Amino acid sequence: SAVISQKPSRDICQRGTSLTIQCQVDSQVTMMFWYRQQPGQSLTLIATANQGSEATYESGFVIDKFPISRPNLTFSTLTVSNMSPEDSSIYLCSVWGAGAEAFFGQGTRLTVV
Amino acid sequence: GNSVTQMEGPVTLSEEAFLTINCTYTATGYPSLFWYVQYPGEGLQLLLKATKADDKGSNKGFEATYRKETTSFHLEKGSVQVSDSAVYFCALSGGVDSSYKLIFGSGTRLLVRP
Per-residue pLDDT reduced to its tens digit, B16-60: 999 999 999 998 888 999 999 999 888 899 999 999 999 999 999
Structure confidence at residue B99 as a pLDDT band (50, 70, 90): low
Flag whether pLDDT at A98 surpasses 80: no
Number of DSSP helices (H) and strands (E) in chain A, helices first: 0, 11
At A44, is the secondary structure helix, strand, or coil?
strand
Q: Is A102's Cβ below 8 Å from some Cβ in B? A: yes
User: Distance between CA A32 and CA A66 in Å, rounded?
Assistant: 15
Residue A31 contacts B, CB cutoff 8 Å: yes
Judged against a pLDDT cut of 90, whether residue A11 lies above it is answered with yes
**pLDDT band at B98, cuts 50/70/90?**
low
pLDDT of amino acid B9? 86
When scoring B6, B44, B45, B103 by the number of chain A Cβ atoms within 10 A, the one with the most, hence best to mutate, is B44
A81 touches chain B (CB under 8 A): no
Residue A44 pairs in a beta bridge with A36
Condensed to tens digits (0 to 9), the pLDDT of residues A21-49 reads 999 999 999 899 999 999 888 899 999 99
Could you give the CA distance from residue B37 to residue B16 in angstroms, rounded to a whole number?
19
pLDDT of residue A2: 86
Those residues whose C-beta lies under 8 Å from the C-beta of residue A53, and which sit 6 or more positions away, are none
pLDDT higher than 60, residue A77: yes
